[in-house]
Amino acid sequence: MSKKKVVVIGSGFAGLSVATHLADQGFEVSLLEKNTTPGGRARKFEVEGFVFDMGPSWYWMPDVFEDYFAHFGKKTSDYYNLIRLDPSYTVIYGEHDFVDIPANLDEFRALLESIEPGVGPRFDEFLKQAAYKYEVGIKDLVNRPSRSLLEFASLSLLKDIFRMDVFQSMSKHVRKYFSEDKIIRLMEFPVLFLGETAENIPALYSLMNYADIALGTWYPDGGMHKIIEGMVSLAKEKGVKFHFDAEVVSMKMEEGHVLGVTTKDGRFFGSDVVVAGADYQHIDQHVLDPKYRSYDQEYWNTRVMAPGSLLFYLGVDKKLPNLNHHNLFFDEPLGPHADAIYTNPRWPEKPLFYASVPSKTDASVAPDGCENLFLLVPLAPDLEDSEEMREKYYHIILDRLERLTGEEIRSHVIYKRSYAHKDFKQDYHAFKGNAYGLANTLYQTAILKPSLKSKKIDNLYYTGQLTVPGPGVPPSLISGRVVAKEVIKENKL
């Protein structure tokens, strides 16, 4: 009996995950990638002795990665070496006000006590609740395909959901336990990975604080792309066939069934199942004929998107002693118009930003005596993206970076590349130039997200950051597994 053929579109974390799970179960899997190298947003590039991770730079939830490889009888250490960062990261609240966040839990608790005396017991309770949410959320809820309310109908699960503050905002939740602004901002920071401000994110996601504080911040030696290299190696071992420069532009249909896909250069790949790990909106609105679309354009235009990003990849010809591996710049308050970062299509007056210097941990990513400096500015999606605006914000950020660190940096930049909305659209067909997908608001959680199964096509599925469980690297790994289970269940060999 011949194997069933699956075409997976896109080789980001979700695409690699679903492809490997399906190949492991006996499907014949072809993975089609638009670009020349695998990884999607987690690609890398090398230039003048610098090795830059193009996208994700935080390694949180190490248990999710371990679970992924363990499913295939492997360990993360078979593919890359993990280093726990200590300090986990540094928060810059202002001039001469740098706070290193310790990896040790007791030291972290002591730090909070030094900022807000007497807060220790309240912190313990906050973290205990966050641990409970993590256990239920990551071990259970995110593994549900969210195709029906009945998936959540058991009495015990409903009790769990009620206990997890789904209907309270993260902002209110944090303020129940802490009163000092520095601690509040520190506790609200992790939900920025979910694409919204704490006012609009359910308190369920304090589980991210557990991931941050208890599970720690890690770094795969050699760079985040080492994860991709490991996943590609495993996928090939399981029989996945990779095809690069293979942008899918159409699907051949027959009575609501995909017979195969055609690439930009005219290649046709026949299939029994198609899984789209590329941008969901692009596939739905631009690859499929109108009668086969699950959603209309109004639906997509009313989705709350996570922010876009302005990125700078900088090679610096000297060391930067006043920066750590991860650095969060909270020197400017979010203010009353914080939502503008996510929804209002204008460039911010006082942007937040983040600086990563992986060469602090890993000498292989920069030449001797140099630093690899990655800067990220969160921006509203769908901004008018021009070289002039990029350059303007480069100098805004460098002004603050130099002032706060007391370092002359600009004159030592020997390599510079920017990357923003236009690039996300060109490289990934990212809807509105988004960097992270849909925001995890209450009304875009679980069954309220775009469905992982097409509403009009019986053998088309979706995976990745625009469907369940949501944005981020660990959720993308999980998304691939969840979709693979649905494909296996509905397409028995």
Query: Does position 337 have pLDDT exceeding 50, yes or no?
Result: no
297 and 442, same structural domain?
yes
| Paired sense of beta strands 218-220 and 371-379, if any | unpaired
Are residues 241 and 30 in contact, defined by beta-carbon separation less than 8 angstroms? yes
Query: Does position 86 have pLDDT exceeding 60, yes or no?
Result: yes
118 and 23, same structural domain?
no
Query: Does position 73 have pLDDT exceeding 50, yes or no?
Result: yes
Classify residue 53: in a domain, yes or no. Answer: yes
Among residues 167, 184, 215, the one where a domain terminates is 215
Percent pLDDT > 70 in the chain is: 96
Are residues 313 and 417 in contact, defined by beta-carbon separation less than 8 angstroms? yes
How many domains is the chain partitioned into structurally?
3
Report CA-CA distances (Å) from 245 to 31, 242, 274: 11, 10, 18
- Range from 50-54, 355-359, 442-446 carrying the lowest mean pLDDT: 442-446
| Paired sense of beta strands 28-32 and 5-9, if any | parallel
Are residues 42 and 55 in contact, defined by beta-carbon separation less than 8 angstroms? yes
166 and 264, same structural domain?
no
415 and 310, same structural domain?
yes
Q: Which of 88, 316, 120, 118 is nearest to 218 (CA)?
A: 88
For 347, residues 6+ apart whose C-beta sits below 8 A from its C-beta are 379, 383, 389, 393
Average pLDDT in the chain: 94
| Interatomic CA distance for residues 91 and 184, integer angstroms | 13
Cα atoms found within 13 Å of the Cα of residue 121, Cβ hemisphere only? 1
230 and 374, same structural domain?
no
Classify residue 90: in a domain, yes or no. Answer: no
258 and 114, same structural domain?
no
Tens of pLDDT, residues 190-202: 987 777 789 989 9
Query: Does position 339 have pLDDT exceeding 60, yes or no?
Result: no
Query: Does position 367 have pLDDT exceeding 90, yes or no?
Result: yes
Q: Which of 326, 372, 405, 352 is nearest to 89 (CA)?
A: 326
123 and 164, same structural domain?
yes
357 and 373, same structural domain?
yes
The pLDDT value given to residue 312: 98
Q: How confident is the model at residue 340 (pLDDT cuts 50, 70, 90)?
A: low
Averaged pLDDT, 354-382: 97
Tens of pLDDT, residues 139-181: 899 999 999 888 887 756 667 766 788 889 999 999 999 999 9
Query: Does position 70 have pLDDT exceeding 90, yes or no?
Result: yes
Classify residue 293: in a domain, yes or no. Answer: yes
The pLDDT value given to residue 336: 43
Among residues 163, 197, 215, the one where a domain terminates is 215
CATH code of the domain covering residue 180: 1.10.405
Please name every residue paired with 252 in a beta bridge, in sequence order, or none if there are none. 260
442 and 296, same structural domain?
yes
| Interatomic CA distance for residues 388 and 391, integer angstroms | 5
Averaged pLDDT, 281-295: 98
Tens of pLDDT, residues 428-442: 999 999 999 999 998
Q: Which has more confidence, 319 or 192?
A: 319
Burial call 202-233: b when 16+ CB within 10 Å, e when fewer: bbbbbbbbbbbbebbbbbbebbbbbbbbbbbe
Averaged pLDDT, 37-50: 98
CATH code of the domain covering residue 241: 3.50.50.60
Tens of pLDDT, residues 216-274: 999 999 999 999 999 999 999 999 999 999 999 999 999 999 999 999 999 999 999 99
464 and 394, same structural domain?
no
Domain range for 60: 5-81+222-302+438-490
Averaged pLDDT, 70-97: 97
Averaged pLDDT, 358-371: 98
Among residues 172, 192, 215, the one where a domain terminates is 215
| Interatomic CA distance for residues 333 and 435, integer angstroms | 23
Block residue for tokens 């639906």: 299
124 and 208, same structural domain?
yes
333 and 289, same structural domain?
no
Four-residue CA torsion sign, 19, 21, 27, 28: positive
Averaged pLDDT, 444-457: 96
